[in-house]
Each structure stands twice: as C-alpha cells, then as structure tokens.
C-alpha cells in the first residue's frame, strides 16, 4: 500500500469512532475476574440437581442459570469483539480461546434441568409458573418444554450429547480450516491483463469486472480448485449430514428437517411452501436473466456474469454525517421514539465504524444483555455503507427493545426473526432512495432491488431445496457422493435460472463453496426473513401508526412467544403465501419499471 492508503493503527482511531467495550467491563482485570467466576457459578447450578420439584429451589436454580448466562455471554462478547478489532493481537485471540471451553461446560452443567423438569407430572409443570411470583417469567419456557417433551432425553443422555458437541462440529471445523487456510488458488487474469492473486475474498471483485475474460478466468480457476477436492468435500458434507441424523434419530424426530425446525416450532409446511411459492415465480427470474443478457450485450449469459453491475453505480459520495441525515428521513415511518433511540445508540458508543490495521472485515451487530448492542463495520463514503449501517442498526434496535422490555429468559429472538428488523430498515432506505433519485440513479436502485431479491430469496431458496434433497437422500439410505451432490446442484440451477443461462461444467462444484450448509436448514430463514421484512416495510410506509405500533411491538417481544405468532401479531402470516407473493410482486414491478426506462 502507498502511504496515503495505509490503514490507521487501532490506537490512532478517535474514541468517538469506536465502540465502547468498557461499557461491558471497565478493565481487562474486571473481565478476567468475571471469566474466572464462571466455574464457581456452574458448580452452584449443579447443586440444584434433584431438587427442582420444589418451586423455590427451581426459582433459585433458574435465577442462577440466568445470572451465569448473562455473565458468560458478556465475557465471551467482550473477548471476541476485542479480538475482532485487532486480529493480530495474540492476547486478544488467547482470551477468546479461553472462553470456548466454558461454553461447553455451561451446556453440560445445565443438562440436568430439562430432564428433571419433564420427570415431574405434566400438570405440576403446567402450574409451576403460578407457584411463585418469580416463576411467572418462565411460563413460556415451561410451555415450550412440554411441547418438546418427547424429544428430551434423560439427564445422563443430555449430558452425554452436550459433551459430543465438539466432536460433531469436526466436519464443519475441518471445512472452515481447509477453505480459509489450506486451499490455494492459481493466479488469475487481472484488469490490466496480467496475472494476479486469486483468493475467496478477491473473487467477488473479479466477477464484478466489466471485462468478461477477467470474470471467466476467475470463475474457472476458483471452481476448478474446488473440483479438485470434490471427494473430500463430499465426505465432509456427508459427515455433517450424518451428525444431524444422529441428533434427530437420538431425539426421536421423524426427519432431520423436522428436528431443525422444531427448535423454533416452525411448521414443516412453512419450509415447503417457501420452496413451492418460489417455484411459481421462477418465470420472473428467467425474465430477469434475459434482461441481464441484453444489458450486458453478451451472446451467452454465464453464471459468472450475474454479479457484474449492469447499471452504473451513482458516484455520489456520502459522508457519515450525510448518512445520518438520510437515515433520519428514510426510517421516519418507524416513528420519533425509534429514531431517538437509534441516534442515541449512534452517539453512545454502539458503533465501531472505521477501518484499522488488523480489524476484521465485514459487519455485524452483537447485543449484550444489560449493556447495549454493538455494531462492527468499516465505513466508506458509499451507499453500500449507509445500507450496511441501516441493516446492522436494525439488528441492534431489535436487541435494544427486546432487552428493554423482556426478562433475560425471554429476550433472545430467534434466527427466524433475526433478519426481519435489519432488512426492514434496508428496504425503507431503498424506498427512500428510489423516491429521491433522478432517472439514472433510479435505474441503479431498481436493479439493486432486483439483485437483493435474486440473491436473498431466489438463491437462498435454491440452497434450501438443495439441503432438503440431500438430507432426504441420506434418510433414504443413499450415499452423498460427489456425483450425487453435483447432480442435485446442477439440476436445481437449471430449474431456477432457466435455459437463458449457461451452466459451465465447473459450476457443479459450487455447492461445496457454501459454508452455511454446515448449519443444517439455516439458509431458508434469509428468504423468510426478507419476505417478512418486505411485508412489514410496506405496511409501515402505507398503513400509518397502527402498523408502526404493531412493528415496534414485534421488536419489543424478543423471544416471548413462538416466531410465527410474534410475526402474526406484527401483521405478517408466515404460514400463508402472502409474504412471498408480496415480495415477488415487488420483483416483477421493479423489473417492469427497469425494462420501461431502458426502452
């Protein structure tokens, strides 16, 4: 790097531009003290074993668990977030590593609670919440425990399963090490016509190139490398699926899909309907592919062409202060209190916004119960940065309102709901930008909408269908060989993208590049979350205060009920096809407008 592009050292970043981790622990010594106290807290919890039939003992036990989990989550968050600000700092990395064994120990120490409660007469557990005032906040937990009673094992078996966590994660961990550390790619063609380094992190840069040769070369070389390990990847994924099968069988579920969805009480019909409704609208995706081909001016549209911008990005730079002003206007449909709380967070040490040497790339929001949320990002003066800030602050406001309105035991929202608040903010921002755009900018934002729905809904549903088919294959006794996995992947891509897109042979390796497949049946929630957010953003923009209050009530509800019910209360029925129909109608409308402007 030239000197003018050299990243700042962490210590040179102004305090106003960094998150305030000392809001969690004032000093590292305070953090160490809290970390070292976890072991004694776990020992205290285990003393309640065999005593949970007594309401007071149960209350004391659950209170001790809450106290321990609040402390442990703060201890881990502090260490991990420090490590993310400087990945080269060995002390930070060691501190994070020292927390990991505590997570497994905590799981094992609490393993007796659910089996012991379920050993009580069912009526006793149903009425336990009314036995003491302090137990009332655990009523939903007791309800959910009874719902899954047949899938909870004995105390000894639960403790055994908890101890197998690290073993069952072997396939995922091996995949992560292999793809991030061990795999090397050949040099690829750069914009200047010379060979340059190819890596996963640089791949997206190459396939966004306006030069088709650069895109093609990077694609073929990256996926050819994955293909060279096709049998290894097939073995790792097969082991991961069989690990899921071990858990689902041990817990007496009819299928791995039902086991995965049952944690959030999500009906299997929601998963299946997500796939089926998406199939209905595939002709619209095919129409978009034809438009892309026309805009790119290519004789044949390849998969590596899909990410190249077909509309020039507006060159308008947005400073951080300008971004704040835009967010104030764009998020106005959420109300003055929401805006006041959001800006108090922006000014109150929630956001770590500038790049520095060793800082982790990407962005995330991390809620710390009893403190406040924290956002990590790297600000650049672009629309993408505004969108990222809106997205992560959506997560943060969800965490903020959940923690403010719920006891700890009911504060954690599910993954199913997690992307709703963030994407609602993104959509409100995008609608605002469309409304205030000139014709050239409007082309860009319309295409951005189309790309969001293509990648977050169509593509994620393709992933979800791949998972469904592969897990069903194992349940039917089939082996997940490289040939089998590649065949499923290519068939799905033909179905989703249609005859207008060329499927190069190397594409059959793409499934092995998706790390989310090592978190079974996770990715469909990106699609459901987007559809729910699209519906909610439409409602708060068009239906006034009633919709606004329903949405804010959703943010405040945390994990106090099942996700489907919480979204229904907010005005979105995820058991119906409506949220996806609304989303795909938006896709069609944007496509119509884009075609009209271009003509």
Q: Which of 392, 441, 486, 510 is catalytic?
A: 392
How far is the C-alpha of 218 from the C-alpha of 221, rounded, in Å?
5
Q: Quick check: is 392 catalytic?
A: yes
Reduced to 3 states (helix: H, G, I; strand: E, B; else coil), residue 9 is: coil
Residue with tokens 């069609």: 588
Tell me the CA distances in angstroms from 31 to 21, 165, 573, one per residue in order: 11, 26, 43
What distance lies between CA 572 and its chain's CA centroid? 20
Strand partners, 1: none
How far is the C-alpha of 564 from the C-alpha of 567, rounded, in Å?
5
Can you read off the two tokens belonging to residue 222?
């990256």
Residue 134: is it exposed, middle or buried by C-beta count within 10 angstroms (0-12/13-18/19+)?
Answer: middle
Q: Of 56, 157, 53, 71, which is closest to residue 111 (Cα–Cα)? A: 157
How far is the C-alpha of 430 from the C-alpha of 63, rounded, in Å?
44
DSSP 351: E
How far is the C-alpha of 42 from the C-alpha of 29, rounded, in Å?
21
Residue 486: is it exposed, middle or buried by C-beta count within 10 angstroms (0-12/13-18/19+)?
Answer: buried
How far is the C-alpha of 507 from the C-alpha of 490, rounded, in Å?
7
Can you read off the two tokens belonging to residue 474?
């194992």
Go through 520-536 and write b for each residue having 16 or more CB atoms within 10 A of its CB, e for each that does not.
Answer: bbbbbbbbbbbbbbbbb
H or E element at residue 472: helix 459-475
Evaluate whether 83 touches 89 at the Cβ level (below 8 Å).
yes
Own/partner long-range contacts of 565-574 (Cβ < 8 Å, ≥24 apart): 566/417, 567/417, 567/420, 567/532, 570/536, 571/535, 571/536, 571/539, 571/547, 572/532, 572/535, 572/536, 574/270, 574/528, 574/531, 574/532
CA angle (522, 524, 527) in 5-degree steps: 135
Q: Of 175, 227, 218, 224, which is closest to residue 200 (Cα–Cα)? A: 218
How far is the C-alpha of 316 from the C-alpha of 568, rounded, in Å?
40
Positions marked active-site: 392
């Amino acid at each position: 790097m030239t000197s003018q592009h050299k990243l700042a050292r962490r210590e040179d970043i102004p305090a106003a531009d960094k998150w305030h981790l000392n809001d969690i622990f004032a000093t590292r010594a305070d953090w160490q003290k809290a970390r070292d106290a976890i072991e004694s807290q776990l020992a205290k919890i285990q003393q309640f074993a065999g005593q949970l039939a007594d309401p007071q003992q149960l209350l004391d036990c659950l209170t001790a668990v809450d106290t321990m989990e609040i402390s442990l989550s703060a201890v881990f968050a502090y260490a991990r977030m420090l490590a993310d600000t400087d990945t080269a700092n060995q002390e930070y990395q060691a501190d994070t590593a020292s927390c990991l064994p505590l997570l497994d120990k905590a799981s094992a120490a609490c393993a007796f609670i659910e089996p012991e409660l379920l050993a009580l007469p069912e009526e006793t557990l149903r009425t336990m919440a009314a036995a003491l005032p302090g137990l009332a906040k655990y009523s939903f937990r007791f309800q959910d425990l009874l719902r899954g009673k047949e899938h909870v094992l004995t105390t000894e078996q639960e403790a055994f399963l908890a101890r197998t966590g690290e073993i069952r994660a072997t396939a995922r961990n091996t995949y992560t090490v292999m793809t991030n550390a061990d795999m090397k790619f050949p040099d690829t063609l750069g914009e200047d016509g010379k060979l340059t380094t190819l890596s996963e992190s640089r791949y997206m840069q190459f396939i966004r190139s306006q030069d088709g040769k650069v895109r093609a070369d990077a694609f073929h070389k990256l996926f050819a490398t994955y293909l060279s390990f096709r049998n290894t990847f097939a073995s790792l994924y097969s082991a991961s699926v069989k690990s899921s099968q071990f858990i689902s069988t041990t817990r007496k579920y009819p299928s791995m899909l039902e086991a995965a969805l049952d944690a959030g009480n999500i009906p299997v019909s929601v998963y299946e309907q997500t796939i089926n409704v998406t199939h209905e609208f595939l002709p619209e995706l095919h129409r978009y592919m034809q438009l892309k081909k026309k805009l790119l001016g290519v004789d044949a549209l390849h998969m590596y062409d899909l990410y190249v911008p077909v509309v020039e990005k507006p060159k308008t730079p947005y400073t951080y202060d300008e971004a704040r002003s835009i967010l104030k206007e764009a998020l106005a449909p959420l109300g003055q209190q929401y805006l006041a709380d959001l800006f108090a967070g922006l000014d109150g040490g929630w956001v770590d916004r500038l790049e520095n040497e060793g800082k982790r790339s990407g962005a995330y929001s991390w809620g710390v119960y009893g403190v406040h949320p924290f956002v990590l990002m790297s600000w650049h003066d672009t629309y993408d940065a505004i969108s990222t800030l809106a997205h992560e602050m959506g997560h943060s406001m969800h965490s903020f309102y959940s923690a403010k309105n719920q006891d700890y035991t009911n504060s954690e929202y599910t993954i199913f709901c997690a992307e709703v608040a963030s994407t609602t903010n993104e959509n409100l921002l995008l609608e605002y930008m469309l409304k205030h755009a000139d014709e050239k900018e409007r082309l860009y934002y319309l295409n951005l909408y189309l790309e969001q729905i293509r990648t977050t809904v169509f593509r994620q549903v393709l992933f979800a269908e791949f998972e469904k088919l592969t897990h069903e294959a194992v349940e039917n006794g089939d082996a997940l060989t490289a040939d089998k996995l590649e065949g499923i992947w290519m068939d799905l891509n033909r179905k989703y993208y249609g005859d207008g897109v060329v499927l190069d042979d190397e594409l059959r390796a793409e499934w092995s590049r998706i790390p989310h497949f090592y978190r079974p049946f996770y990715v469909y929630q990106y699609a459901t979350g987007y559809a729910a957010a699209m519906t909610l953003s439409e409602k708060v923009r068009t239906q006034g205060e009633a919709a606004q209050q329903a949405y804010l009530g959703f943010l405040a509800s945390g994990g106090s009920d099942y996700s489907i019910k919480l979204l229904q209360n907010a005005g979105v029925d995820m058991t119906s096809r409506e949220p996806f129909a609304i989303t795909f109608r938006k896709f069609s409308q944007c496509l119509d407008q884009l075609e009209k402007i271009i003509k």
